[in-house]
Amino acid sequence: DSGVTQTPKHLITATGQRVTLRCSPRSGDLSVYWYQQSLDQGLQFLIQYYNGEERAKGNILERFSAQQFPDLHSELNLSSLELGDSALYFCASSVDFGLANYGYTFGSGTRLTVV
Amino acid sequence: GENVGLHLPTLSVQEGDNSIINCAYSNSASDYFIWYKQESGKGPQFIIDIRSNMDKRQGQRVTVLLNKTVKHLSLQIAATQPGDSAVYFCAETPNTGGFKTIFGAGTRLFVKA
């Protein structure tokens, strides 16, 4: 157990639908990062939150959004889902906003399948 | 542009042999490098890191080598075991911030018993 909790582990939904992925960071970590990992692809950075505020955006589609709540858990909302959105979605947390001195701690991911 | 990649997408080694996984990066401003291991069905797990002011760092059975001249990073695993079978990612972080960490595509390591 890495300390980063992601739910659900698996999600199957139809095209056009909307889903919410949840992440609880490791205790003490203020930064939450969301990554997408498609089949045979590397980790693509989507978005980062630090202590409730959006800090950085990567290649996140407009159909996707996220937020971090006062208790520091984060949710990634994916809407108008397309087949191509099928992927593993990872949440990672770290202590620092700046240079991640100790790297990220990743959750086990949510496998999203859009049918 | 900024790019982190791997020379070999798959690597097959015999149990007990040493493994070497390579990674090239293109951003000379990168200050911090990490190797992650991702087992099937799990998230990436931190293995070892190295800062740009070092050229070698050793852990338990793992060694990371950094050659800034040619922008090359490698992970050496000694006495490879079946439990080492996984996908290994290198990642680079520029000195401008952790959120700009870029991950390579990954190398799949198979360990033959």
Report DSSP state, residue B55.
S
Which residue is listed with tokens 């990490």? B34
Q: Which of residues 1-20 of A touch B (CB under 8 A)?
A: 2, 4
Average pLDDT over residues B16-42: 90
Q: Percent of chain A scored above 90 by pLDDT? A: 72
Nearest neighbour of A42 by CB, restricted to B42, B95, B106: B106
- Over its C-alpha atoms, chain A yields an Rg (Å, rounded) of 13
Helix (H, G, I), strand (E, B) or coil at A10: strand
Q: Percent of chain B scored above 90 by pLDDT? A: 63
pLDDT of amino acid B79: 97
Helix (H, G, I), strand (E, B) or coil at A64: strand
B41 touches chain A (CB under 8 A): yes
Nearest neighbour of B103 by CB, restricted to A43, A107, A109: A43
Q: Percent of chain B scored above 70 by pLDDT? A: 88
- Report pLDDT digits (tens) over A22-62: 999 999 899 999 999 987 667 888 999 999 999 888 889 99
Stronger pLDDT, B6 or A75, i.e. the higher one: A75
pLDDT of amino acid B47: 93
- Cα-flanking dihedrals φ and ψ of residue B37, to 5°? -115, 130
Residues in a beta bridge with A75: A22, A67
Tally A–B CB contacts below 8 A: 70
Listed in sequence order, the residues at least 6 apart from B70 whose beta carbon sits closer than 8 Å to its beta carbon are none
A92 touches chain B (CB under 8 A): yes
CB contact under 8 A, B89 and A90: no
Average pLDDT over residues B35-44: 90
CA angle B87, B23, B82 (to 5 degrees): 30
Across chain B, what does the average pLDDT equal?
87
Stronger pLDDT, B104 or B50, i.e. the higher one: B50
Q: Is the pLDDT of residue B9 over 80?
A: yes
Interface test with A, best of B36, B101, B102 (most A CBs within 10 A): B101
